[in-house]
């Protein structure tokens, strides 16, 4: 018994000593907060120049406004409804029954949803939203699209007012509706649908021998989408999807032609040049990601404890203690510095991926919670280091962005194949001469990733391009193009 008491005494003493060390360290950290790093300051200065709300963002949001309602005003009204309901939603969410009690849960939210619907309907000012032809949603541009399918798309007749509004969006500035986690996101799908029609009309012009008009239209479309690709990561991916469709149209039109003249070829190649700016565009889009993630971290002290579960009642002593401890040990500057380091590394990673460069291992200091060298045991270091809560949030809030850069490289691969097709038709190559040409082209007409010539089947006269990332436009693993 004496030994047990002695052992217990020592254990309590050790625990008390460790607790005293932890408390002392955390008090020291709290009284000596870190300054913002030069990287953080530079990112903040760059981000401060970005418009957070833009008229063009409201215009996209209100694209389908009734004919007598200004789309910017309609979009603004919808965003106001969204923002006014946001705070109320948070309050209702705290008092919400659990989802397991389905009847009570649905009844709790019914009044809120009904009032939201009424408020959104008021934005219509008694009018009716304009709709797009359903064919634009049902007909997709993919490799292998037929001439008949192009004609069917070109024959669709969207409302001229919607077309004019879309042209204003494409010609306008950035499209932002806030950079909070719950800011509304503009509906880009309508612009994609209209781009299908615009692209098909360009094919129609090409087939009608008005090739200058077709190339000019493709050039304008490419520049419209490239210009908005750096607005945000979402914009970059939407632009990639739209540009892929335009590339498919250009390559298909050229491949179906026996020969194209030098002037047309030069104009088409010049139009493609803008695609090569996409690696920089997606890298620049990470600045908006910085605004988003840094904004979340800055708002953490005002939020509930990460242990709090809505709909489960008050936190209780343990939860309140954890919440208070989290607040006291949270160092916002250290958190932002870690985020800045990570953001800059992501920018370099995305740029490298978009260029088609091999993936290289990177030490993600910002993602390690405490003592990275301890592996799975690093969690036990947290009580002894500065800003344990911030480290946790930074570690769990950093997704892998490289795949987004790879999608850009896949787009550039399609542009390289289109470039190859233009030059092949410019020289009227066929048969063995065409097969030889494919194997001897310059680097800008080869696979972006491997730097080798594209695979070409002379018997079927088709190029085969390997995909590194699944694409809603190009497919799962690979696609073929007629040459």
What are the tens digits of pLDDT across the range 439-468? 999 999 999 999 999 999 999 999 999 999
The pLDDT value given to residue 210? 94
The pLDDT value given to residue 315? 47
* Higher local confidence (pLDDT), 252 or 396: 252
The pLDDT value given to residue 379? 61
Q: Confidence class of residue 314 from pLDDT cuts 50, 70 and 90?
A: very low
Radius of gyration (Cα) for the chain, nearest Å? 28
| Rounded percentage of the chain residues whose pLDDT exceeds 70 | 82
**Span 92-109, average pLDDT:** 72
Residue 93 belongs to some domain of the structure:
yes
| Rounded percentage of the chain residues whose pLDDT exceeds 90 | 54
Instruction: Look at residue 321 and tell me whether its pLDDT is greater than 50.
Output: no
Instruction: Look at residue 280 and tell me whether its pLDDT is greater than 80.
Output: yes
Tokens of 323: 């919440």
The pLDDT value given to residue 10? 64
Residue 140 belongs to some domain of the structure:
no
Q: Confidence class of residue 387 from pLDDT cuts 50, 70 and 90?
A: confident
**Span 360-377, average pLDDT:** 56
The pLDDT value given to residue 279? 96
Give the whole-angstrom CA distance, residue 8 versus residue 5. Answer: 5
Give the whole-angstrom CA distance, residue 215 versus residue 268. Answer: 6
What are the residues facing 53 on neighbouring strands?
A: 177
**Taking Cα atoms as reference points, which of 233, 217, 101 lies closest to residue 170?**
217
Between 3-17, 165-179, 182-196, 311-325, the lowest mean confidence (pLDDT) is in 311-325
**Span 364-385, average pLDDT:** 59
The pLDDT value given to residue 465? 95
**Span 118-127, average pLDDT:** 90
Quick: pLDDT tens for 179-229. Answer: 887 888 888 899 999 999 999 999 999 999 999 999 999 999 999 999 999
pTM of the model: 0.86
Q: Confidence class of residue 317 from pLDDT cuts 50, 70 and 90?
A: very low
Instruction: Look at residue 320 and tell me whether its pLDDT is greater than 60.
Output: no
* Beta-carbon contacts of residue 278 (< 8 Å; ≥ 6 apart): 226, 229, 236, 239, 240, 243, 354, 408, 411, 412
Residue 104 belongs to some domain of the structure:
yes
* Higher local confidence (pLDDT), 74 or 186: 74
Average pLDDT of every residue of the chain: 84
Q: Confidence class of residue 307 from pLDDT cuts 50, 70 and 90?
A: very low
Residue 463 belongs to some domain of the structure:
no
Between 104-108, 324-328, 347-351, 429-433, the lowest mean confidence (pLDDT) is in 324-328
Residue 171 belongs to some domain of the structure:
no
Q: What share of the chain is helix, strand, coil (3-state, %, to 5)?
A: 65, 5, 30
The pLDDT value given to residue 306? 45
Q: Which domain holds residue 93?
A: 68-122
Residue 111 belongs to some domain of the structure:
yes
Domains: count for the chain: 1
Instruction: Look at residue 322 and tell me whether its pLDDT is greater than 90.
Output: no
The pLDDT value given to residue 300? 66
Instruction: Look at residue 370 and tell me whether its pLDDT is greater than 60.
Output: no
DSSP annotation of 475: B
Give the whole-angstrom CA distance, residue 158 versus residue 168. Answer: 16
The pLDDT value given to residue 26? 63
Residue 36 belongs to some domain of the structure:
no
Q: Confidence class of residue 401 from pLDDT cuts 50, 70 and 90?
A: confident
Quick: pLDDT tens for 105-114. Answer: 777 777 778 8
DSSP string, 323-335: HHHHHHT--HHHH
Asked if 246 contacts 218 with a C-beta cutoff of 8 angstroms, the reply is yes
Buried b (16+ CB within 10 A) or exposed e, 290-306: bbbbbbbbeebeeeebe
The pLDDT value given to residue 40? 93
Residue 402 belongs to some domain of the structure:
no
**Span 7-29, average pLDDT:** 65
């Amino acid at each position: 018994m004496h030994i047990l008491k002695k052992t217990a005494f020592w254990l309590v003493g050790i625990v008390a000593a460790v607790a005293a060390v932890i408390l002392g360290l955390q008090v020291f950290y709290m009284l000596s907060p870190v300054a913002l790093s030069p990287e953080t300051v530079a990112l903040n200065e760059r981000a401060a120049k970005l418009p957070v709300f833009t008229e063009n963002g409201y215009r996209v949001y209100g694209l389908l406004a009734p004919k007598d309602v200004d789309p910017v005003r309609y979009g603004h009204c919808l965003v106001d409804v969204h923002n006014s309901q946001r705070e109320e939603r948070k309050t209702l969410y705290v008092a919400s029954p659990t989802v397991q009690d389905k009847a009570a849960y649905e009844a709790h939210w019914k009044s809120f949803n009904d009032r939201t619907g009424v408020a959104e309907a008021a934005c219509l000012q008694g009018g009716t939203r304009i709709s797009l032809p359903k064919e634009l949603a049902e007909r997709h541009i993919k490799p292998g699209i037929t001439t008949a399918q192009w004609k069917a798309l070109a024959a669709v007749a969207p409302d001229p007012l919607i077309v004019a509004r879309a042209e204003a969006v494409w010609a306008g500035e950035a499209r932002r509706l806030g950079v909070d986690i719950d800011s509304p996101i503009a509906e880009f799908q309508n612009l994609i649908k209209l781009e299908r029609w615009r692209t098909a009309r360009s094919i129609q012009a090409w087939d009608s021998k008005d090739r200058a008009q077709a190339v000019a239209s493709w050039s304008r479309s490419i520049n419209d989408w490239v210009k908005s690709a750096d607005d945000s990561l979402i914009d970059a991916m939407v632009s990639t999807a739209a540009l892929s469709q335009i590339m498919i149209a250009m390559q298909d039109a050229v491949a179906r032609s026996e020969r194209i003249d030098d002037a047309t070829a030069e104009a088409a190649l010049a139009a493609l040049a803008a695609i090569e700016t996409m690696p920089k565009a997606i890298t620049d889009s990470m600045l908006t990601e910085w605004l988003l993630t840094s904004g979340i971290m800055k708002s953490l002290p005002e939020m509930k404890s990460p242990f709090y579960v809505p709909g489960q009642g008050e936190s209780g002593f343990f939860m309140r203690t954890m919440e208070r401890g989290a607040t006291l040990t949270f160092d916002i500057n250290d958190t932002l510095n870690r985020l800045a380091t990570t953001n800059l590394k992501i920018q370099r990673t995305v740029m490298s991926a978009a260029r088609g460069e091999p993936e290289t291992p990177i030490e993600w200091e910002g993602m390690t919670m405490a003592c990275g060298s301890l592996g799975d045991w690093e969690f036990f270091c947290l009580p002894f280091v500065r800003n344990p809560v911030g480290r946790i949030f930074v570690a769990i809030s950093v997704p892998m962005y490289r795949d987004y850069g790879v999608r850009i490289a896949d787009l550039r691969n399609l542009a390289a194949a289109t470039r190859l097709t233009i030059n092949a038709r410019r020289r009227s190559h066929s048969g063995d001469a065409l097969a030889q040409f494919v194997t001897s082209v310059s680097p800008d007409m080869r696979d972006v990733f491997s730097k080798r010539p594209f695979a070409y089947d002379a018997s079927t006269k088709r190029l085969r391009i390997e995909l590194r990332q699944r694409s809603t436009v190009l497919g799962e693993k690979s696609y073929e193009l007629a040459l």
